[in-house]
Amino acid sequence: MQQRPLLKSLAECHVAGDASKEAGCAHPGSPTALKLVSWNIDGLNDKEIQARTLSICNALNRLEPDVVFLQEVVPSIVGVVKKHLSRYRYIPGDDKGYFAVTLINKKSVTYTSHSVVPFTSTQMDRHIVCVEATFNGLPLVLMNTHLESMAYSSQVRSIQLRKCFRRCMKEPSDRTVIFGGDLNLRDSEVASVGGVPDGMLDVWEACGSSPATRHTWDMSVNDNLDFGGEQAKPKCRFDRVYVRPSQPPCLVPASFLLTGKERLQHGGCFPSDHWGLVCCFSHS
């Protein structure tokens, strides 16, 4: 597939890999490297939920991201998240049912404002948590969401994706816009809305499209969910992060890693049925 101009200009300087050993940004220690983690933490699954949430909090504390996008947070684990991630400002999309939560590091990211935008098309109470902030003086727009689930919701999900892309592109050009979460996407749905807009990047693609980091929901490895049979082992790239760089570009994709691939010491399950995405952006 032919690379779009912006993607082609950045492709040579990026890497992809596995963050199971809590790897850092491509330029560790750099005050200009932004690290973002996106993770569906499977709060709708009661199995070992407190232990799984604590494991996720511990992983985030080791990774020390500047920004965290969480999906499927539920009220019963909010206390654990707030207690063990106290260095972060907690910005929820709701306080009941299940919802997205954005966390921003109080030391490295300066909060400006936020809003919660519900999807009018949703049957599953889905929304976007939109945060405006600055990182080293660079203006950011952070859009965390959980698009409609299940194959039968493809049309609704495409409508939601189109709305998110349009919102990203409407932001002022001096801002870096990062949009992501558990998008439940199939590649055909991205194509159905005309593809990724010109001027935006799929971070996994920008970092080399490594097969090792393609599948963020992989039942051939992750056995937290029982699909009832050896043949039913689906794997998908449901979780994605996109960036619309500012003009001129200030923060560009530097690395794309996965985390959450180690089982809990007690209980034997993984922290979630989804792997977490660890995305680093370097100052261009």
Q: Which tens digits make up the pLDDT trace of 131-154?
A: 999 999 999 999 999 999 999 999
**pLDDT category, 31, cuts 50, 70, 90?**
low
**How far is Cα 204 from Cα 79, in angstroms, rounded to an integer?**
32
Residue owning tokens 């619309």: 244
**How far is Cα 201 from Cα 209, in angstroms, rounded to an integer?**
12
235 in any annotated domain:
yes
**pLDDT category, 9, cuts 50, 70, 90?**
very low
249 in any annotated domain:
yes
Q: Is 223 a catalytic residue?
A: no
**How far is Cα 241 from Cα 143, in angstroms, rounded to an integer?**
10
Is pLDDT at 38 greater than 50 in this prediction? yes
108 in any annotated domain:
yes
207 in any annotated domain:
yes
Is pLDDT at 168 greater than 50 in this prediction? yes
User: What CATH number is associated with residue 264?
Assistant: 3.60.10.10
25 in any annotated domain:
no
**How far is Cα 115 from Cα 88, in angstroms, rounded to an integer?**
18
What residues does 276 pair with on adjacent strands? 259
pLDDT tens across 113-124, in order? Answer: 999 999 999 999
Q: Note the pLDDT of residue 10.
A: 46
Q: Note the pLDDT of residue 1.
A: 37
Candidate list 42, 182, 202, 273, residue with the active-site label: 182
What is the domain extent for residue 90?
31-223+231-283
Q: How far is CA 267 from the centre of its chain?
A: 26
Average pLDDT over residues 78-96: 99
Q: Report the domain count for the chain.
A: 1
Provide the percentage of residues in the chain whose pLDDT is more than 70. Answer: 87
90 in any annotated domain:
yes
Q: Note the pLDDT of residue 231.
A: 66
For residue 137, the tally of other CB atoms under 10 A from its CB is 7
pLDDT tens across 177-220, in order? Answer: 999 999 999 999 999 999 999 999 999 999 999 999 999 999 99
12 in any annotated domain:
no
Q: Note the pLDDT of residue 24.
A: 56
14 in any annotated domain:
no
